[in-house]
């Protein structure tokens, strides 16, 4: 009798275990979670698909963005960047690994572009104040004076100490052309770590796609019409499963005076807004930090030289939109684009 009871008890235990295990392995249905915040001077939108931990994952992503902003903002007084700038010509400054990595990458792109991309552009950025309340066209003399401090070769990195030193007092760096890319990559890394397999991150034109849409189709990233106020108006669409699509242009931040447009991307060789014949550029790359640095670089270098540079880089593609509404593409994008606005014309 006792043996029989033991048998039933054992059977019940096995049954309960099965039910519990089944409960554990049940596939959770994925829901869409979204978050919009203003950070790194732009609107950030994260859309991800997850189980009920979606909100917690979004919080982690937001925290990481804020962390990066607090280290790399040029306007936050105790950020790494502000400390580097206020110690220019005085002493090296120890920075967080994040900041060090971004500055190192920025200097690589400065070399690669022969100084077209140059984070020491800050004195010029400040002088024009394009993104400030009072932008203005400075005098030639003022520009000449500030250009003395623009040279990426005067940035000294110490890999062991993780210090950054600007050699001349008056110098300053600005990571506005590359930090968003780094932040977008970091958000993607966190999402993957948390098991997210489908997501789209947009940081003011810095887009990172993760794993395509939940239905298996690629994400569709519209390339904005640089002369339309409507942010939804696009000139072509780039389909992407995993990777980054980043755009730069004269339409993002600018002011007009005397019928002329003065925008926020400067040519370090002149101290004036870059005038290479382009309204916009878009770069597609596996990592957003590269796409970000390169979209700014191609914009400054112009269609011919910029796309030549991109063609030399493995796995990176770009397009450049000229003032006369012609779209030039890098080798790997040729024949793959469809123009969605009849005013624009794709070049063979």
| In contact, 48 and 198? CB cutoff 8 Å | yes
121 binds, among ligand AMP, Mg ion, none (CB under 5 to 8 A by kind): ligand AMP
Q: 105-108 long-range contacts, Cβ below 8 Å, gap at least 24?
A: 105/178, 105/182, 105/289, 105/290, 105/293, 106/152, 106/173, 106/175, 106/177, 106/178, 106/293, 107/152, 107/155, 107/157
Quick one: which of 146, 224, 264, 287 contacts ligand AMP (CB under 6 A)?
Answer: 264
Q: Does 290 bind ligand AMP (CB under 6 A)?
A: no
| In contact, 273 and 135? CB cutoff 8 Å | no
Of residues 149-188, those binding Mg ion (CB under 5 A)? 177
Q: Which stretch binds ligand AMP (CB under 6 A): 85-93, 171-179, 222-230, 308-316?
A: 171-179
Positive or negative: CA dihedral 107, 287, 67, 219: positive
Quick one: which of 248, 282, 288, 330 contacts ligand AMP (CB under 6 A)?
Answer: 248
Q: Does 300 bind ligand AMP (CB under 6 A)?
A: yes
Report d(CA 126, CA 67) in Å as an integer. 24
Q: Does 276 bind ligand AMP (CB under 6 A)?
A: no
- Name the residue number minimizing CB distance to Mg ion: 296
Q: Which stretch binds ligand AMP (CB under 6 A): 15-23, 222-230, 295-303, 304-312?
A: 295-303
Of residues 262-301, those binding Mg ion (CB under 5 A)? 292, 295-296
Write out the DSSP string of 172-188: ----TTTHHHHHHHHHH
What is the per-residue binding string for ligand AMP in 93-132, x denoting contact by CB under 6 A?
------------------------xxx-x---x-------
Nearer to ligand AMP, 292 or 317 (CB): 292
CB of 302 to Mg ion, least distance (A): 16
82 binds, among Mg ion, ligand AMP, none (CB under 5 to 8 A by kind): none
Copy the structure tokens of residue 164. 């950054």
Instruction: Outline where DSSP puts E strands in the chain.
Output: 31-39, 42-50, 93-94, 155-158, 163-166, 199-203, 206-210, 219-224, 234-240, 243-249, 254-257, 260-263, 278-285, 317-322, 326-329, 345-346
Nearer to Mg ion, 199 or 300 (CB): 300
Q: Does 176 bind ligand AMP (CB under 6 A)?
A: yes
Q: Does 54 bind ligand AMP (CB under 6 A)?
A: no
Q: Does 266 bind ligand AMP (CB under 6 A)?
A: yes
Q: Does 265 bind ligand AMP (CB under 6 A)?
A: yes
164 binds, among Mg ion, ligand AMP, none (CB under 5 to 8 A by kind): none
- Name the residue number minimizing CB distance to ligand AMP: 176
Positive or negative: CA dihedral 307, 177, 179, 47: negative
CA 154 to chain centre: 25
Q: How many residues bind ligand AMP (CB under 6 A)?
A: 18
268 binds, among Mg ion, ligand AMP, none (CB under 5 to 8 A by kind): ligand AMP
- 64: Cβ–Cβ under 8 A, 6 or more apart, which residues? 183, 186, 187, 190
Count of helix runs (H) and strand runs (E) in the chain: 9, 16
Interacting residue ranges for Mg ion, rule: CB under 5 A: 177, 292, 295-296
Q: Which residues bind ligand AMP (CB under 6 A)?
A: 117-119, 121, 125, 174, 176-177, 248, 252, 264-266, 268, 292, 295-296, 300
């Amino acid at each position: 009798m006792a043996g029989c009871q033991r048998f039933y008890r054992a059977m019940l235990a096995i049954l309960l275990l099965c039910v519990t295990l089944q409960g554990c392995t049940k596939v959770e249905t994925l829901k869409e979670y979204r978050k919009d915040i203003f950070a790194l001077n732009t609107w950030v939108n994260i859309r991800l698909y997850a189980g009920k931990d979606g909100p917690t994952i979004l919080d982690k992503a937001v925290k990481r963005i804020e962390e990066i902003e607090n280290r790399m903002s040029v306007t936050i007084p105790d950020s790494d960047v502000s400390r580097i700038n206020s110690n220019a010509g005085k002493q090296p400054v120890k920075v967080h690994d994040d900041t060090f990595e971004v500055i190192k990458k920025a200097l690589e792109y400065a070399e690669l572009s022969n100084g077209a991309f140059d984070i020491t552009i800050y004195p010029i950025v400040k002088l024009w104040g394009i993104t400030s309340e009072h932008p203005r066209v400075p005098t030639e003399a003022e520009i000449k004076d500030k250009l003395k401090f623009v040279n990426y070769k005067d940035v000294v990195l110490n890999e062991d100490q993780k210090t950054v030193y600007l050699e001349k007092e008056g110098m300053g760096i600005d990571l506005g052309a590359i930090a968003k890319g780094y932040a977008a990559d970091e958000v993607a890394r966190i999402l993957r770590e948390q098991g997210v397999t489908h997501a789209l991150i947009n940081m003011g034109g810095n887009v990172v796609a993760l794993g395509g849409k939940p239905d298996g189709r690629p994400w569709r990233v519209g390339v904005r019409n640089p002369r339309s106020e409507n942010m939804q108006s696009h000139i072509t669409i780039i389909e992407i499963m995993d990777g980054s699509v980043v755009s730069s242009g004269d339409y993002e931040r600018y002011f007009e005076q005397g019928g002329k447009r003065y925008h926020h991307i400067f040519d370090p060789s002149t101290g004036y807004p870059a005038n290479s014949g382009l309204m916009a550029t878009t770069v597609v790359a596996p990592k957003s930090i590269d796409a970000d640095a390169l979209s700014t670089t191609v914009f400054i270098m112009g269609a011919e030289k910029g796309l030549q540079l991109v063609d030399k880089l493995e796995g990176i593609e770009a397009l450049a939109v000229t003032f006369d509404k012609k779209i030039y593409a890098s080798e790997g994008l040729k024949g793959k684009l469809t123009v969605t606005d009849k005013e624009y014309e794709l070049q063979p």
